[in-house]
Amino acid sequence: MKKKSVILRIALIMIPGMLLSLSSCRHEAELLPIIPGTNDSICFDSQVLPIIQSNCAKSGCHDGSGEFPLTTYEQILRKVEPGKPNKSSLYKVMNTWQGAPNFMPPSPSQPLSNAQITNIQLWIMEGALHTTCNENDCDSVNVTFTTGVKPIIENNCIGCHSGASPEAGLLLTNYNEVKTAAINNALLDHIQETNWYSLMPPSGKLSVCDIAKINKWISDGLPNN
């Protein structure tokens, strides 16, 4: 799905002898409305749900056994006020100061990236709908690590494969770590559930498009592009 860049507005305030620039800050940002027609819609199924399942709905956190499960759209919606990210507890806990007691995901898990937080913000602003994506828009030919593979790994894998105690001792937080997993065939075997490897991510198989992108990147020689 093609996406256009989000324009960040910056306000300038004059104070005697000082010029302050107020830009986006996770713990105090006032969000601006989306101008109709300037952004493609956020797809809940492929751009929001995997982030929540990988980073929040883990064992011992917000999986089905906890007090506040976040494994399905209906459960996630309980923590959201459609159209109002700053009123939504789901968004506020991940967009606050990292040292705050309610910051999520908590240490030692890796914080969400700005791109992930922005996708969740925009999804809420668009009404927090249960949207799906059109696989026909998939470009599995012109694949780069930065724009094709890295977002897939970030949204679906890093929640478990980061921090001080990654699952199975496997880290996938940067290019070299992902490359090593790909060279060992563990990456493809897990996401395709082949050669007796368990399915990853455990929340469900990646889309045909995402698997095709990873396959293309590997067949291209694992470039760091």
Task: Check whether 41 has a pLDDT greater than 60.
Answer: yes
Three-state DSSP class for 20? strand
Q: Provide the pLDDT for residue 10.
A: 34
Q: How far apart are CA 55 and CA 167, in angstroms?
A: 13
Q: What is the mean pLDDT of residues 183-189?
A: 89
Q: How far apart are CA 225 and CA 218, in angstroms?
A: 12
How does residue 183 score in pLDDT terms, banded at 50, 70 and 90? very high
Choice among 22-31, 97-106, 114-123 with the minimum mean pLDDT: 22-31
Q: In sequence order, what DSSP letters do the residues of 135-190 get, joined into one string?
A: GGG---SS--IIIIIHHHHHHHTTTTS-SSS-GGG---SSHHHHHHHHHTTHHHHH
The answer to whether the CB of 158 falls within 8 A of the CB of 173 is: yes
Q: pTM for this structure?
A: 0.67
Q: How far apart are CA 69 and CA 77, in angstroms?
A: 11
Q: Provide the pLDDT for residue 27.
A: 44
Q: What is the pLDDT of residues 89-102, one digit of tens each?
A: 999 988 887 777 87
Task: Check whether 38 has a pLDDT greater than 50.
Answer: no
Q: Provide the pLDDT for residue 125.
A: 95
